Chain A
Amino acid sequence: MIHKYKLNGYNIILDVNSGGVHIVDELTYDLLDNVKPPFEKECPANVIEKMQRFYQEREIRSCYEEVVELYNSGILYSDDDYEKYASYAVASPVKAMCLLISQDCNLRCEYCFASTGDYGCGRKLMDLTTGKQAIDFLLENSGDRENLELDFFGGEPLMNFEVVKQIVEYARSKEAEYKKRFRFTITTNGMLLNDDVIDFVNKEMSNVVLSVDGRPEVNDRVRKRVDGTGSYDRIMPKYKELVAKRGDKDYYVRATFTKYNLDFANDVFHLYKEGFDQLSAEPVVGDPSMPYAITEKELPRVFGEYERLAEMMLVNENKGKKFNFFHFMLDLDQGPCAIKRLRGCGSGNEYVAITPDGDIYPCHQFVGIEEYKMGNLMAGTFDMDIKKEFAAAHIYSKEECRKCWARFYCSGGCNANNYIYNHDIHAAHKLSCELEKKRLECAIMMKAARMVEKEHFED
């Protein structure tokens, strides 16, 4: 299977199963509509006849030979022979956990999927005992995995900062005994950042996600305080301070975009101009009937905006102005192995979320969905059937993904989105798929553009 598309002046061919990416001329682009394996030694006469109106016969023949050569090298129309690995998709050790350390929030963002922090289940903070039990659970269920990931999430995690600190201390105290290493991460809205918190976060958190939606008016329209005023002025100076002190540790400034800012590339560039170079912008998730929702109707605008962002980034890079945009980052040579790509996020299998009550869910987005409650820390229950169901949710068990050209990059999408929109973790959420595919096309195009640029330079 191949995927071919044109973007920003490039004709791009992705060989889905080998991961090969090729830039081709018009002739090859057209030829690939007319030929497919099994290939003959020479270009079939009917193909030449058909294409002769536009191209010289000699050129068509030489192009055909190149296509066949790539095919023989296994980087064009290569086979999908990974399904055998999917059968290894059995329950794995749990290696990552999301702690809903605070089911409460000090902002009232219009679009919050957690119902302004409480996941629709009442405002609550996790206590230290539950936090410790969660750490013990992770240590005991992580098998031979040495690196354990623990994400502090909310609501707003810093509303329970004392417990965050104590949980980190407790987890660190167990590392030597269990021969494990914790990697902590935190997502915050910035409202409670102060010098102490910043120092702690920079010391202990291997990644921090700082939420802000971009331009002041865009941010303040949706990310509001309880009294209805905006949050931008309060959080931006704190984010700058945190990042300035952070050294080369990872962080992301993360924006959510909605129907209100379909020109979100301007928000990404706003954040860059404010001094941040690790950026992310996510489409809002939620009820399609809400006024901020991104629906099918907005797709063309959003596609155009992703393209504009990609092109603007390339132009800026040539002037030495470079930043990372999370969704356009792609390693075409050293990315994750094909086996990892069959299953993606690992929710419900390698990854679980824990609520303040000690309830275990497949991930933060499943919290409150009774059907998928996997167990409870205090009760010592953990439903292996649900775990197996998630372990088996790979690209070959998902109807749309099996056939999709993006499957080894997207890895079957978001189980939670699938459930929320389609009541089935295996049923791809079409809108998310369209967005994912557009982002991938942009990301691959950027790789191609950078390479061409480099060659040009070296000539």
Chain B
Amino acid sequence: MMKHIVTINKANLKKSAEKGGCGKCQASCQSACKTSCTVANQKCEK
């Protein structure tokens, strides 16, 4: 347990790259918002 720092997530971006890139996920601008591209709120579909 750290005294000065609390890490709030698993920080697994690096791991995601090893198995990622399948391209099955949704295209990002589709449907919900038609101008601002927002990718990080999407789900991985694997």
Q: Which chain A residues have a beta carbon within 8 Å of chain B's beta carbons?
A: 13, 15, 17-25, 27-28, 62-63, 66-67, 69-70, 74-75, 78, 81-82, 85, 88, 92-93, 95-96, 98, 113, 145-147, 149, 151, 153, 185, 187, 207, 209, 250, 252, 254, 280, 282-283, 285, 326-327, 329-341, 344-347, 350-351, 363-365, 408-414, 416-417, 432, 435-436, 440, 443, 447-448, 451-452
Contact = CB atoms under 8 A, between A and B. Distances in A.
Given A147-B45, A333-B10, A335-B40, A350 B31 contact: no
Interface of B: 2-14, 16-17, 19-45
A345 B37 contact: yes
Most chain A CB atoms below 10 A, which of B7, B12, B38:
B38
A22 B7 contact: yes
A408 B17 CA distance: 12
Main secondary structure of the interface of A (DSSP, over half): mixed
A18 B39 CA distance: 16
Contacts, number: 219
Contacts of B23: 92-93, 95, 145, 340, 350
Nearest to B16: A337
A153 B34 contact: yes
A74 B9 CA distance: 13
A63 B31 CA distance: 46
B7 A408 contact: no
Contacts of A413: 37
Nearest to B21: A339
A417 B34 contact: no
Contacts of A336: 16, 20, 25, 39-40, 42-44
A27 B4 contact: yes
Given A15-B11, A22-B8, A447-B9, A337 B44 contact: yes
